[in-house]
Amino acid sequence: EADIYQTPRYLVIGTGKKITLECSQTMGHDKMYWYQQDPGMELHLIHYSYGVNSTEKGDLSSESTVSRIRTEHFPLTLESARPSHTSQYLCASSREDEQYFGPGTRLTVT
Amino acid sequence: AQSVTQPDIHITVSEGASLELRCNYSYGATPYLFWYVQSPGQGLQLLLKYFSGDTLVQGIKGFEAEFKRSQSSFNLRKPSVHWSDAAEYFCAVGPGVTTDSWGKLQFGAGTQVVVTP
C-alpha cells in the first residue's frame, strides 16, 4: 500500500485566488511528480523533482509552481487561479521507475 | 520522442467474459512498460510492469500483459472480468536504463472499461 497523500481532495475556488495543493509521501522517495489530468485524457507531467531543492518543469506548460524543501513534501501553488486551471491534479512519487500515485485533487475554478 | 497509443477509448464487456486492452508504444530502445488502473475519484494503481526477461507478466487482480517487441505492443488481458474491474486503464512507457534513470513516464489516453451484468 502506497503512502502518498493529497489535500484537499476537492476544491472549488473563485478566480484570482491563490491556492496550494498539498502532497506528502512517507516512503522516503527522492523523485516526486505532479500530473494534470482532464476527463478522458492522458496524464500530462507538469512538474517533477529529483530530490530536495530540485524542481523542473514537465512536458506540459503550467502556470503553477512547486517547491521541494523536504523529501516528503511537494506542494503545488497557483498564484492566481483561473477557470482554465480547472482539472484534476495527481501527485506521484518513485524510487526508480515505478510510480505511486496519490488520490488526486479535483480543482474547480469559478 | 516516445509515445503511447491506446486505440480503444471505451470497451464494454460482460461480467465473466475475457478482456483485452491494447497498447502500442513508440520508443527508440526497450522501454519500461506499465499498466495502471484508475477507479472513479481515485489515483492510479499499478497493475503490472515489464522491465526485462519473460515477456508475459503477471500482475495484481488477475491481470497479465504480454510484451511483443516486433509489434511494439504491451496488451493487457484478464480471462474473466468482475464488476469491480470497471475503471479506466492507462498504459505507460518510461525510459530504460539511462544515465539518470529518473523514471519520467509517458501515459496513453486511457481505455474506459464498462462491465455489464
Q: What is the number of structural domains in chain A?
A: 1
- Residues of chain A below pLDDT 50: none
User: Which structural domain, as residue segments, surrounds residue A78?
Assistant: 23-109
Taking the CA of residue B18 and the nearest CA in chain A, the distance in Å comes to 23
- The answer to whether residue A10 is domain-embedded is no
Tell me the domain boundaries of chain B: 3-116
Q: Is the pLDDT of residue B75 over 70?
A: yes
- Collect all residues with Cβ–Cβ distance below 8 Å to A98 and sequence separation of at least 6: B34, B46, B49, B103
Q: Is the Cβ–Cβ distance between B26 and B2 less than 8 Å?
A: yes
CB-closest option in A48, A97, A102 to B43: A102
- The answer to whether residue A13 is domain-embedded is no
Q: Give me the pLDDT at residue B101, please.
A: 47
Q: Calculate the CA A61 to chain-centre distance.
A: 13
Half-sphere exposure in the Cβ direction for B22 (13 Å, CA): 10
Q: Is the pLDDT of residue B100 over 80?
A: no
B15-47 per-position pLDDT tens digit: 999 999 999 998 877 788 999 999 987 889 999
- The answer to whether residue A11 is domain-embedded is no
Question: What is the homologous superfamily of the domain B3-116 according to CATH?
Answer: Immunoglobulins (2.60.40.10)
Mean pLDDT for chain B overall: 90
Cα–Cα distance, A38 to A68 (Å, whole number):
25
- Domain at A42, CATH number: 2.60.40.10
Which chain A positions have a beta carbon within 8 Å of B104's beta carbon? 45, 48
Per the CB < 8 Å rule, is A48 touching B104?
yes
- The answer to whether residue A68 is domain-embedded is yes
